[in-house]
Structure 1
């Protein structure tokens, strides 16, 4: 009468593991988005200060700009690594449960935000080179 719920004898066991993986990737998305947003805010704030006459010429250091670029790059790297780990886990899970792989909303959001983050990083690097 005692059932072992670590395998996929019950349909809910597969769903439990799949939803746990989705929660994990969503947590990584949230963390990466915070890093990207904070890095971009720092970068743009110091870009804005350069346009103000009182600060013009006084901000020669690129360190704040570099900090912004590094934070955005870290956010993108973490998101790409987490997406790869998620895909690897889901493929193994689907093989073990003999189910066909399907794209989840979490995966789509992760891929979309990775593309947005990469394009933002390229924009920041191009802008940094111009000044």
Structure 2
């Protein structure tokens, strides 16, 4: 007899896990919207810096600024969709009998953040050369 325990304790644990997944999703949404907003505002911030320091190469800096800004917007949108998919996968796995956390989505999320950081770092090195 291999019966799974069913009771109020297990149901409360599942409810806590669902609520934790919802809090995680809202945090990811908040960070993604911040990243998208940063990408939109990055161009204006950089133009204000170029007005303060007019000796910079404005054409080259404008091109890299647009690349960084659009990259931030694209990564923010991608992470937003990935966070929603991770949330749906987490909710689906909570409802199953044998809980297995969805590692692929979390790896994608972390990898995307690292990729954005590397691209921005490389562009900043090129700008300062």
Name the CA shift for 1:65/1:14 in 2 (closer, same or farther; >3 Å): same
* 19-28 vs 72-81, which moves further: 72-81
Partner of 1:17: 17
Q: After the TM superposition, which parts of structure 1 deviate over 4 Å for at least 4 consecutive aligned residues?
A: 44-48
Q: Aligned equivalents of 2:32 and 2:23: distance in 1?
A: 14
Residue 70 of structure 2 is aligned to residue 69 of structure 1: yes
- CA deviation map 1:49-103 (0-9, x unaligned): xxx9xx8xx7322111111001111111111111111111111212339xxxxxx
Aligned residues: 86
Give me the whole-angstrom Cα distance separating, in 2, the residues matched to 1:82 and 1:9. Answer: 31
Q: Give unmatched runs, 5+ long, in structure 1.
A: 1-6, 98-131
Higher helix share: 2
Rounded Cα–Cα distance in structure 2 between residues aligned with 1:8 and 1:20: 21
Give the TM-score normalised by the residue count of structure 2: 0.55
Give, in angstroms, the shift of residue 8 of structure 1.
5.6
